[in-house]
Amino acid sequence: MVVKYHSGLAVLLAFSSAVLAQITTPCTYQEYLCGSTLLTNGYAVADLRTAYDANLNSPVIPDTALNKVLFRCTDNVGAIVGNSYCIVGCGVVGDNLVDDMCTM
């Protein structure tokens, strides 16, 4: 049982490394970034869709609206989860010291 878990974990880590290798600038732990920022930094629309859909209480939106979602970085290697759909828009700050945010 432990061997199966360990080998499955190795496959998961290998897959994650291959996906993250394509990201030019991964987000870092507890950083909040707009979908548009993540797309500019090398994330794919499929990455954003998966992260957005992980939040089960999010409204249904088309892929074209993922740039208006505020994502939270869950680790230091680029993993993300959809935090908020910004109805008006997502404000890109463009600074590693200040998070992006939903605009009013």
Could you tell me the pTM of the whole model?
0.76
Read off the pLDDT band of 71 (50, 70, 90): very high
Q: Is the pLDDT confidence value at 9 over 80?
A: no
**What is the SS3 assignment for 95?**
strand
How far is residue 35's CA from residue 60's CA, in Å, rounded to a whole number? 15
**What is the SS3 assignment for 16?**
helix
Higher pLDDT, 77 or 95: 77
Cβ-Cβ contacts under 8 Å for 71 (sequence gap 6 or more): 27, 32, 33, 34, 35, 38, 48, 51, 52, 80, 81, 82, 83
